[in-house]
Each structure stands twice: as C-alpha cells, then as structure tokens.
Structure 1
Amino acid sequence: MKKILLFIGALLFSTLFYDKSIGLNLFLFSLVTIVVLFANNKEDFKSKRTLLYSSLYLATGLAVFFHDSLLSIIANFVAFFTLIGLLSEHKSSIYVNWLNGFYTTIAGWFHRNFSLNETTQAVEPKRDIDYAHWAKLIFVPAVIVILFILLYQNGNPVFNNLIDKIDFSFINLQWLLLAGLGYYLLSNIHKPIEVEPATELDLQTGNTLEKTNKFSIPKLKQENQLGNILISLLNILIVIFLITDITFILTNMDIRASLFSSQVHSGINALIASIVIAIIILLYVFRGDLNFYKENSTLKRLAFTWIMLNVMLVLTIAIKNGQYIYYFGLTYKRIGVLVYLTLAVTGLITTLVKIDKIKNIWYLLRLNTKAAFVVLVVASMVNWDYHITNYNFNYAKSMDFNYLIELSNNNTLLLKEKIDNIPMGSDSIQKIEEKYNRYVYELSTNSWQELQYDNLKIDTK
C-alpha cells in the first residue's frame, strides 16, 4: 500500500510540475508530502512539534498561492527540509534538522538500501532486494524481444505493417522522467533518516556550561580585571556614540535624502560592527570558568549594561530608518533593515540570557537559528510588493514611481486601482497599463496547476 502511495505521489508530482510555473501546484505538492509522511510516520505525527512544523510548511505553500514571491518559495523549501529533519530526530536542533532534511531529500533511498560494512569499510547493498535479478528480468527479455521483432519485420511484410502502425508518440519521455524524479524524491523522504555523526554530537551537547578541572582563582582574577576594564571602556564609548546619535535625531527632523541615506547606512554598519564585536567579546570573556568565579558580579553588570546600550543603539537606528521610510517610502532594503534589527535584538537578548544562566555557545546557535526560521516563515506570509506600493502611495512624502513599476506582479492590480483614485501623468498611466495587460495575459494562460489568488480576483470582475 505504501509503495502504491509513492507511485501515485510520483504521478501527481509530474502532473503538477511538468512544464508548469510555480503556483497552486507547490501548495498541492505540500499536501501530497504531508500525506506520504503521515502514512509512513504516524507515531511522529502525534507530536505537537510535528503538527506545528507541518502547519508552517503548508502555510508557506499557501503563501506561494496568494503571492507568488521568491521569499515564500524559499520559505517553503526551508520548511520542507525542517519538517523532514524533525521526523528523522525530534530532539535535534533546527540547524541539524536542516542538515538531516537536505541529506534525506538527496540521498535517503541510497542510505536505506546500502549499508557500510564496518570490517571492510566498503559499501554493500542490503540483501532484501536482488537488484541484479530484477535488472535481468526487465532488460534481458526486452532486448531479446526487440531483436526478434526486427528480424520478423524483414521476414513478413504483414507483420512489418502491423509494427509500423504501432504509435508510441503519446508517450512523453520527459513527463515520465519527471515522474521518476518524483518517485525518487518521495522514496527518499517517506522514512526520514539522520546524519549520525552530526545528530549524535548535537544530542550529546547540552546548553549549559560546566566548570573545568583547570579552575584557577589567580588566573580568573586577572581575567575578571581585564574584562572589567575593557567592558567599562566600551560602555563609555557607546554612551558617547548614543548621545551624539540621539542629538542628531532630535536636531535634524527634516533633512535631505542623501544625508538621511548616509546616516542610516553608516549607522547600520556601526550597529553590525558593535553587535558582532560585543557578542564575540562577551563569548570570549564568559567562555568558561569565569562564569563560576564568585567575584564576577561587577563584570556581569557591566556586560548587561553594554547589551542594553546596544539595544538602545538598535532603537536609534530603527528611528532613523523609520524617518527615512516616512519621507522617502518603503523599499525592500529598508524593510531588510527592520528585519536585521529584529534579529539583532534577539541576538543581544539571548546573549544576556547566556551570561545570566551560564549557557554555552550552542545555546545561542540553537535559539538564534530557530528565531531566524520563524522570521523567514512570518516574512513569507506577507505580500511585500502590495504593502510597499500601498504605503508609498498613501503615506510617503515622496517616492520612486519607477521602483514600484519594477516590483513583481504582486502589486499590479493595486497599481491599476490607483489610476482611478490618484492623479497621474500620462507616462505613469501608460507604464501601469502595460504592466497590467501583461499580467492579465499571464493569468489568462495559467493552467490549473499554475493558478494564483489573483486568478480568482480577475475572474470575479
């Protein structure tokens, strides 16, 4: 029954994707994937974590249907690898899930059907299937039958005419090859596997630091003194920077775009440098036994202060970026700044928790990669082109109209609506009309596999 399910899934895979662009088909394949995984891993689907990751995977597929963006497609692939990796080992970190998911997708069938002989260190096929015998059963009779057909054609004109009337043009070799690829993919993932060295190491590595055997009070005292001096100076430096930065914001509320751009970009560079250096220094200072030194309370308070000052630096950059958006509109780069700031604050807070709760670097890696995954999935749910266009028309003091035209088709219908609601020049109207007509034609030529949400909106008009 499970083999039949894989075969049906392979046929659906080719039906959905052969000679088709991405649309409804990616969401439908996500459903097929969930069905195949559930049929072969029913116990795993009793876990709330599996249900959550399955829901996120389906949500990213649905996002592709609603707004066919590159970000939503990438999120769907990442969610796919995450779910496959989770089924291979529930307790592993999310970055190990990605590794296991990718490995399973590429080589799962080979991993399950070929084993490593520990004695000879040679790869040997498992004995439950005799592939050589099956190859003989298929190819030897086929070759001999074809040979005799060729011989009989020359010996009998009636038989020759009969063979000539056989038409195999209905067979689409490319479609069959894609179906074969689909079968191979589903065969790989139906029983997810794990990369044993990486997974085992991850499971054996905890989040908490342990005191080492080299615990030395004199050395720790010196390290504590050095840390106090260094982080105190860095606190003073960032305070001076924040004072000048806040002064700039309060005294320059209405400035030129070029100056604003320079300030935001330089601020981001300073932020990147300060956060990276902050985390590296804090990880080095609190890398080991100093966490257990009884006289480190002052150092910890200085570290916490530095982290909070870095959070304030993030806020000043966010304010400047917000002013930039208010005056000159939304763009992907400005949204990217906000996403980076969100991840930066997450990194700073997890670093604070790491120091306070005496965690190790693996704790930071596990928590921050999970945060990055959540941000990716949430961001893929948003039709950014639509919201960029809507904001810039309704709220921005000035905007780059050509930038909106160059965005994907996700804002085309909104641009068409703006022609009737907002006064525009003839050149702008012409560009919108050209983009709209191209998009409507593209939607009208979509097959059912390529359907998008905008197909439904156009049909209802």
Structure 2
Amino acid sequence: MNPSAKIPAQWPADAASATCAQPALTPLTAAQKLLLPVGVVLFDWLFWRERGGVNMLVFTVFVVVAQLLVLPRHAAVRRSPYFWLMVFGSLLSGVLMAVYGSGAAALACMTSVLLLLGYVNQPHLKLVLYALLTAGGSVAQAGVRVLRGVRAPQNPGAGVRRGWFYGRLLLMPLGVLGAFHLLFAVANPRYDALSGEVLAVLGDWLARLLPDISLGHLLFITLGFLVTAGVVVAVPVFVFADHESRFGEFVRRQRNRVASFGVRQPDFRWKTSRALDLRKEFIAAVAVFGLVNVLLLVVNAIDINWLWFGFVPTVGFDLAQFVHEGTYVLIFSILLAMGIVLWFFRRNLNFYVPGLPWLRVGATVWVVQNAVLAVSVGLRNYYYILNSGLAYKRIGVCFFLLLTFFGLVTVLLKIWQRRSAYSLVRLNALACYAVLLLLAAGNWEVWIAQYNLQSRFKSIDIGFLLDMPDRVLPTLVARRAVLDRAAQLTLETEYDGIQSIDGPMAQRHLDFAVAAARARYAAYSHWQGFTWADWQTRQALR
C-alpha cells in the first residue's frame, strides 16, 4: 500500500512531507482535554496561599480518578500489583494528610503520587527508585508536550500563523531565562534585590491592569498547569525500564567471568590479575566469615552481659554520647556486614558445591550475630528514651532498626535462595515505602509530648515541645502542672542558646503559644488547609 494514500487529499504537499520527516505528536484524548483545565482550576483553588491539609486529599483523589479515566480499560497497568499498591498508598497518605497534616504525611503523599505516575508510565517496572525517576522524567516533559500539541486555528491569515509560530518558538528561551534568573538570584544578593524591585514594579503594573491576578498568582497557575499536565499526560520514559530489564531475581551461573578450580576454559581467556578462581574466593570468604564471626561473638557477648540484663547508668555516665557514637558505629558495622555478604554471594560462589554448605552456615551465623548487634543498638536507644524522653531522631532509629531486621532477612534469602542484589534492592525499597506510610500514620508530636511530660523526668525541654505544631498545645495545657514540678526546664533561644527557666516562665511561654494559636485559628476561615487535628485543637483551646 502506498504510504501517501494514508494522507487525506485536502492536506497540502508540504504538510505531507513534514509528517514523513517528523512523527506527529499523539493528540490529546477527550478525557485529557477535559481533565487539564479542571486540574489547573482545582490546583489553584486548593493550594493558592494555603497550607497542606484536606486539599492534598482532594487533589490526590483527582490524580487517582484521572489515571483510571485516562487508562484504557484493558491496559496492562491495571493488572499490575504495584499500580494498585500505589493507588492504596496515595489515598491512604492523602487521608493521613487530612487527619494530621504532618510533614511525614505530606512526604508520603507526594512520593505515592509520583510512584503511581511512574508505574502508569511503565507498567513492567518493579524498582521503586526507577518508578520515581520515570515519573520525574515524564512530569518534566509533559507541559512541553502539551504546548507542542497546541495548534493554531485552521484557516488563519499569514500574520496570525507567523505570530503563532514565533510565540511558540520563544517559550524555550523564556524558560532558560527564568532558570538562570533563579540561579543568579540565589548566588548574588544584589542582583536578587534589584530583580525583586523590577518584579515589584511589573507586579504593580499587572495589578492595575488585572486587579484580581498578581504576578505571583500567574506563576502559581503556571505551576498548576505543569503539575496537572504531568498527571494527565504520560510522556513515555523507557530508559529506566530498559535498564531494569537486564536484571533478574536470582543469580545465574556465569562461566565466562570466573574460572573454576584454576583450570583454563577453552571458551574464554583466563587472567589471574582480573579474577580469583572459585577455590581461592571460597578460602577468602571462609577466612572473612570465620574471623569476623569470632570478633563479633566477643562484641555481642560483652553487649549481652552489659546491656541486656540489669543495665543501670552510673552517676556521671554520659548516656547521650554512649548512644549517639555507639549507635552510629554499630549501624555502620551492620551495613558493612550486609555489603560483604552481597559481595561474596554476587556470582559463581553460589554454585561452588564442595564448600557452599559451610559458606552458607558461616554467612548465616554472621547475619544472626548482626541481628543480635541490632538488638543491642535498640537497647541503647531504649535506655536513652527511658532516661531522657522521646525525640524525632530516637524514633527514627527505631524505624531504621526495623528496616535493618528486614534487610537481614532478605540477606538470608540471598544466601539460601541465590537471590540477586536487584531482588534485595527491590524488596528493601518496598519496605522503605511501607515504613514511610507507617511514619505518616503516627501522631508523633502528640505522643512525644505525652511521654516527655511525665513527672519522673528531671529535665524537660519545653522549648522543643513549644516548637511543635499547634496540635500539641492541648496536651501541654492538660499537663501544665508537670511544668511547675519539674526540676529543670530548658528553652533554646536564637541569641542566648539553651538556657534554664523556672516554672512560671514556662507557663508564660505556654500561654503565649496558646494565644498565638487561637489568633491563627480565628484568622483562618478556609477549609483547604484545615485538618481533623486542627479542628480538635481549636475545639480544645476554646
């Protein structure tokens, strides 16, 4: 069939040649044409001069519904468990954002939405990191793709066509100009001040021209268009999916890399300077696992005898230094142990039949000993919390140890099931995402305040508690009597640093924080940035 027969007869010859030279862009569907303006208006209505709250839940629901509307009914992504996992994660984190409005919930919500877009773009992806990068690449190109797809009127005059052409041509230089302007504004304070004055004059002129729209609002609407375009229009990004397709779940025997028993194989050139034979590599692995197992056994025996049963800090014992320095060193030791196991079990040593059972037993003992070491790290953190109270980093250590135990289990899977490093990265990345959702589900600030405001603590960092979100204030008010009985109250100021204050001073700081919160709630009458925790706090402070 003649290709030219596919071109409609009414097309001019130059249009046909242009079509053959450059493939035409995929036109927007009716659903995409409807969702684009709806998304821009919704984004502006929900987020302009608003903080995160119920608005993030509403926009997340819009993102999920948009994907279900745009995707064909029999699309492969609808059968992907990762797609439905991210749909669940997006909606759950959006609900948690509407409930607490915490930073962890906001991070979980944005991450879930990006992962959802990544798996929609490439349904066969499994790695969480590659899904994020795929979504970022697609969102970065979607706005330009939509603008390139915009066409001028069908029968305009020559002047209109020429103006339309040059108008589209200037978009890229203007984008580059804006990027360099931001860089120079950050690097040069005088340029930043001068450009601010120029933009202020321009904004005043636009305010007189358009009383209801400011320059900042126009830029925000542009941001809404770019975000909505990234949600509605998926620009295929294949580079990460192609790279992931090279990996497998299990290690395969590679006869063209490592020689067996020092015998030269006829199908490849053996070089002792490039790779050890399996026997030498086995001897090195046995030596490493044997020696380090003995060393780690001594360390674990000391920790079990010292920390596990009846540990009581002596007078003058620096528990903070004991926890911080010891925890960091032990965590690094555990990560190094995982790396060594991954190194020795990366290739053909998994198939060395004469010594594989002994090697697996030695590696398993080492993994179990690292789990014991992780328990010791947890006990150090527990004793610190027991004596000094809760804090963000101490909670973070607990979740990091949870991920460490999961990582050690996956290392055992690698040892006994010959799983590849790709499999371990995939499983641990999913575990990190699950932990992110768990962090988003916690009302951590209120729980920290409830735990730290106990009369058994000799010192209370009231400044740390007052710097938390307003939803902590009802807990502080309900337990304000503890402040009068505390032996020491500390407050950190910008100029004086950490200083000790008495009970009445702490009460005055609390009263000032409550009055400021009441004023903020009275001045805020919108619902977009409100949360269920804000509603509870406002009712409690009345």
TM bracket (short chain): 0.7 to 0.9
**Deviation at residue 421 of structure 1 after TM alignment:** 7.8
SS at match of 2:223: helix
From 339, 342, 353, the counterpart of 1:294: 353
State the distance in 2 between where 1:311 and 1:132 align: 70
Q: Which is bigger in relative contact order (C-alpha 8 A, separation at least 6)?
A: 1
Summarize the Cα distance change of 1:129–1:186 in structure 2 as closer, same or farther, 3 Å threshold: same
- Please say if residues 60 and 75 of structure 1, whose CA atoms lie closer than 8 Å, have aligned partners that are also in contact: yes
Summarize the Cα distance change of 1:319–1:168 in structure 2 as closer, same or farther, 3 Å threshold: closer
Q: Decide which moves more: 387-396 or 239-248.
A: 387-396
From 431, 444, 459, the counterpart of 2:509: 431
**Deviation at residue 328 of structure 1 after TM alignment:** 1.4
State the distance in 2 between where 1:455 and 1:261 align: 34
- Please say if residues 130 and 241 of structure 2, whose CA atoms lie closer than 8 Å, have aligned partners that are also in contact: yes
User: Which amino acid is the alignment partner of residue 435 of structure 1?
Assistant: A
Q: Name the count of aligned residue pairs.
A: 425
**Deviation at residue 293 of structure 1 after TM alignment:** 0.5
Residue correspondence of structure 1 range 211-290 to structure 2 within 5 A: 211-214=253-256, 215-218=259-262, 219-249=277-307, 250=309, 252-256=311-315, 259-290=318-349
- Please say if residues 329 and 396 of structure 1, whose CA atoms lie closer than 8 Å, have aligned partners that are also in contact: no
SS at match of 1:264: helix
State the distance in 1 between where 2:161 and 2:226 align: 19
Summarize the Cα distance change of 1:139–1:77 in structure 2 as closer, same or farther, 3 Å threshold: farther
SS at match of 1:400: strand
Summarize the Cα distance change of 1:136–1:71 in structure 2 as closer, same or farther, 3 Å threshold: farther
Summarize the Cα distance change of 1:171–1:269 in structure 2 as closer, same or farther, 3 Å threshold: closer
The answer as to 2:472 corresponding to 1:411 is: yes
CA root-mean-square deviation: 2.8
State the distance in 2 between where 1:191 and 1:256 align: 64
User: Which structure carries more helix by proportion?
Assistant: 1
Summarize the Cα distance change of 1:48–1:370 in structure 2 as closer, same or farther, 3 Å threshold: closer
State the distance in 2 between where 1:132 and 1:42 align: 30
From 136, 142, 156, the counterpart of 1:108: 142
Q: Which residue of 2 aligns with 1:118?
A: none
The answer as to 2:444 corresponding to 1:384 is: yes
State the distance in 2 between where 1:261 and 1:422 align: 23
State the distance in 1 between where 2:82 and 2:377 align: 36
Summarize the Cα distance change of 1:381–1:442 in structure 2 as closer, same or farther, 3 Å threshold: same
The answer as to 2:105 corresponding to 1:72 is: yes
Summarize the Cα distance change of 1:274–1:167 in structure 2 as closer, same or farther, 3 Å threshold: closer
Summarize the Cα distance change of 1:133–1:89 in structure 2 as closer, same or farther, 3 Å threshold: farther
**CA displacement, residues 275-312 of structure 1 (integer Å, 9 cap, x when unaligned):** 22212211221121111000221111000000000000
Question: Hey, which bits of structure 1, 4+ residues long, moved more than 3 A?
Answer: 42-49, 128-141, 170-177, 254-258, 394-399, 420-424
Q: Decide which moves more: 252-261 or 292-301.
A: 252-261
- Please say if residues 367 and 412 of structure 2, whose CA atoms lie closer than 8 Å, have aligned partners that are also in contact: yes
The answer as to 2:41 corresponding to 1:11 is: yes
State the distance in 2 between where 1:14 and 1:358 align: 51
- Please say if residues 470 and 534 of structure 2, whose CA atoms lie closer than 8 Å, have aligned partners that are also in contact: no
Q: Which residue of 2 aligns with 1:162?
A: none
SS at match of 2:61: helix
The answer as to 2:69 corresponding to 1:39 is: yes
State the distance in 2 between where 1:247 and 1:5 align: 64
**Deviation at residue 194 of structure 1 after TM alignment:** 4.0
State the distance in 2 between where 1:257 and 1:412 align: 34
Summarize the Cα distance change of 1:351–1:396 in structure 2 as closer, same or farther, 3 Å threshold: farther
State the distance in 2 between where 1:63 and 1:90 align: 27
The answer as to 2:228 corresponding to 1:195 is: no
State the distance in 2 between where 1:368 and 1:132 align: 54
SS at match of 2:101: coil
State the distance in 2 between where 1:109 and 1:12 align: 17
State the distance in 2 between where 1:133 and 1:311 align: 73
**Deviation at residue 91 of structure 1 after TM alignment:** 2.4
Q: Decide which moves more: 402-411 or 345-354.
A: 402-411
Q: Decide which moves more: 343-352 or 268-277.
A: 268-277
User: Which amino acid is the alignment partner of residue 306 of structure 1?
Assistant: W
Residue correspondence of structure 1 range 101-140 to structure 2 within 5 A: 101-110=135-144, 112=145, 129=151, 137=160
- Please say if residues 385 and 411 of structure 1, whose CA atoms lie closer than 8 Å, have aligned partners that are also in contact: yes
From 68, 82, 89, the counterpart of 2:122: 89
Summarize the Cα distance change of 1:196–1:356 in structure 2 as closer, same or farther, 3 Å threshold: same
Summarize the Cα distance change of 1:36–1:179 in structure 2 as closer, same or farther, 3 Å threshold: farther
From 226, 230, 244, the counterpart of 1:184: 226
SS at match of 2:255: coil
User: TM-score, with normalisation over the residues of structure 1?
Assistant: 0.84
State the distance in 2 between where 1:438 and 1:191 align: 44
The answer as to 2:407 corresponding to 1:347 is: yes
SS at match of 2:40: helix
User: TM-score, with normalisation over the residues of structure 2?
Assistant: 0.72
Structure 1 unmatched runs, 5+:
115-124, 142-165
**Deviation at residue 191 of structure 1 after TM alignment:** 3.5
State the distance in 2 between where 1:16 and 1:113 align: 23
Q: Decide which moves more: 96-105 or 451-460.
A: 451-460
**Deviation at residue 444 of structure 1 after TM alignment:** 2.3
Q: Which residue of 1 aligns with 2:418?
A: 358
State the distance in 1 between where 2:347 and 2:213 align: 66
User: Which amino acid is the alignment partner of residue 366 of structure 1?
Assistant: R
